[in-house]
Amino acid sequence: MIDWNEIRAKFPAASNVVYLNCAGGAPMSVEAATEGKRFYDEMLSGGDTFWDEWLVRKEEVRVKLARFINALPKEVAFTLNTSHGMGQVAAMLEGKGEVLTMHDEFPSTTFPFLHKGFKLNYVLPQNGIYTLQNIEKAITPETRILVSSFIQYNTGFKQDIEALGELCKKHNLIYVVNATQGIGSFPIDTQKLNADFMVFTCLKWTLAGYGIGGMYVNKKWHGNLQYPAAGWRSVENPGLMNNREMELKTDASATEVGCAHFPNIFALGGALDLLNAIGKENVLEHILGLNKYFEEKLNEIDIPILTVTQPEYRSGITTIKVTEPKTVVGKLAEKKIFVSARGEGVRISFHIFNNRSDVDALIDGLKEVIG
């Protein structure tokens, strides 16, 4: 039995503000912050004398992250954020054909491909939904790469990424997933995904703070592509420091070209420990339970929901329709209720540190702000 009050207490921000913006950037837990701070304490007390220990701990976090998405450690690389990871993927796939993606994608998904000169074609949603049938209809003989978010950042639409993987397999497409708005809230299993590449940042639902993300490179690509850059940590034996000959790694970690962003990686380790202790299904059940309660309360005050609410498409994001969203968000912030303005609505996102009192506070705030 999960004590959600105990979980909430691990997030000091939850006692200071009503924080409903994990889809933007989440507060950190004591566990995650402690692991990040530990690095700075060590650096303060001993400088670089902890180097070997840091390298060991980094690989321990790699194993944790790999297990979290059911991948092999050699398939996982640390990045700074989604844009960083997607930029590397776009560089690796340069010249491999046209890209098909979704109309609502966040720029981190599309800009790296546009920057590399790819031709992008976009699938339009129908009533906020991207059906597999419509995606398949948009595939042309020139389509070689399909790029999709697991969950759309604006509307909260959740794609069946495993079924989409089967579609890519059927049409022999390279499959790239932006998992940023899903990892940490929904279980992800790369063994069932059939993805070639997956990227994500961990500042949102993974609760690890800024400066840390991940990239999954399916092992079938190891040795079969050129990584976009190389540095002294890209080789099999960095300790040789041979500046004339290099034996490059073939696994995903070859993209980690230099000294690691240790505190951010260690914070991710602490965040994953907490999520694993709670259990992925318990995390998901808690989030969806708050969604349901929120929908019931919205119906009572007659505020339209823009998010598709059918269970198969439901994520941790709920976007509601209001006039002047930015004004509404600003007025709620004055009441220490933090949400985001997105498009023609206000986006709300719950996580493990939220409870029904947060929902009630938001509903009361909306009544006062909207009138």
Please, are residues 267 and 208 in contact by the beta-carbon 8 Å criterion? yes
Structure confidence at residue 96 (pLDDT): 96
Token pair for 154 = 């604006």
| HEC string for 240-291 | HCCCCCCCECCCHHHHCCCCCCHHHHHHHHHHHHHHHHHCHHHHHHHHHHHH
Structure confidence at residue 1 (pLDDT): 85
User: Which CA distances in Å does 175 have to 24, 80, 85, 144, 151?
Assistant: 25, 22, 15, 9, 15
Structure confidence at residue 343 (pLDDT): 87
pLDDT exceeds cutoff 80 at 82: yes
Q: Give yes or no: residues 317 and 333 share one domain.
A: yes
Q: Which domain holds residue 24?
A: 4-28+279-370
**Among the residues of 144-261, which ranges form H helices?**
161-170, 190-193
Total-model pTM:
0.96
Residue that is last in its domain, among 251, 276, 301: 276
pLDDT exceeds cutoff 80 at 371: no
Looking at residue 333, the DSSP 8-state letter turns out to be H
Structure confidence at residue 179 (pLDDT): 98
User: How many angstroms separate the CA atoms of 19 and 336, rounded?
Assistant: 8
Q: Give yes or no: residues 192 and 73 share one domain.
A: yes
pLDDT exceeds cutoff 80 at 218: yes
| CATH classification of the domain holding 303 | 3.90.1150.10
Structure confidence at residue 298 (pLDDT): 95
Structure confidence at residue 135 (pLDDT): 98
pLDDT digits (tens, 9 = 90+) for 170-199: 999 999 999 999 999 999 999 999 999 999
User: How many angstroms separate the CA atoms of 164 and 348, rounded?
Assistant: 26
Whose CA is closest to 120, among 155, 144, 136, 152? 144
Q: Give yes or no: residues 334 and 222 share one domain.
A: no
User: How many angstroms separate the CA atoms of 118 and 303, rounded?
Assistant: 41
| CATH classification of the domain holding 118 | 3.40.640.10
